[in-house]
Amino acid sequence: MIHITTEPLNPQEVTDQVRKDSNGAVITFLGTTRDSTEGRRVHYLEYEAYQPMAQDMIRQIFQEVRERWDVQDIAVAHRLGRVEIGEISMVVAVASSHRERAFEAAQYAVDRIKEMVPIWKKEVFEGGEVWVGSEEESSKVARS
């Protein structure tokens, strides 16, 4: 399951997608919006995606996970648009017969999503706004 939506996310739904009687371990990661970054007080976030490439890249990550850990059951949900502080922006659920694989696969999937899926995050904070990961953000950090 890959669910990209402007609606609030339901972690239980994502978790339920990966549960099977053959799975003994289920890891659900929630990415939530923090109220501060690098000393900036954040008001809210905005997410933007390049669809359908975002879906294609998540599918590719599923394939990578399946090949490395023989973990078949993975589900991802990501929120787009405005997300308020403390809300859930991403859910990644991974299930396996054994917990070591589930933990590792979940971490890998989360890191890979953040590394290469074309979804961008804009932080609107006290005094301005910035696209996270951009050069503009690095120069703001350097100056502060």
Partner 1 sequence: MKVRVRFFAIYRERAGTSKAEVELPQEATPTDLLAELRSLYPSLPRSDSVLIAVNSQYADPHSPLHEGDEVAFIPPVSGGLV
List residues near partner 1 by CB under 8 A.
48, 50, 52-53, 56, 111, 114-122, 131-136
User: Which of 95, 92, 91, 90 is CA-nearest to residue 66?
Assistant: 95
Instruction: Give the integer Cα–Cα distance in Å for 26 and 117.
Output: 23
**17: which 2 tokens?**
């997608």
Residue 135 C-beta: closest distance to partner 1, Å? 5
Query: Three-state SS for 78?
Result: strand
Residue 29 C-beta: closest distance to partner 1, Å? 13
Smaller CB distance to partner 1: residue 16 or 111?
111
Cβ-in-10-Å burial (0-12, 13-18, 19+) of 100 comes to exposed
Instruction: Give the integer Cα–Cα distance in Å for 61 and 59.
Output: 5
Residue 102 C-beta: closest distance to partner 1, Å? 19
Smaller CB distance to partner 1: residue 24 or 81?
81
Residue 44 C-beta: closest distance to partner 1, Å? 15
Smaller CB distance to partner 1: residue 50 or 81?
50
Smaller CB distance to partner 1: residue 44 or 120?
120
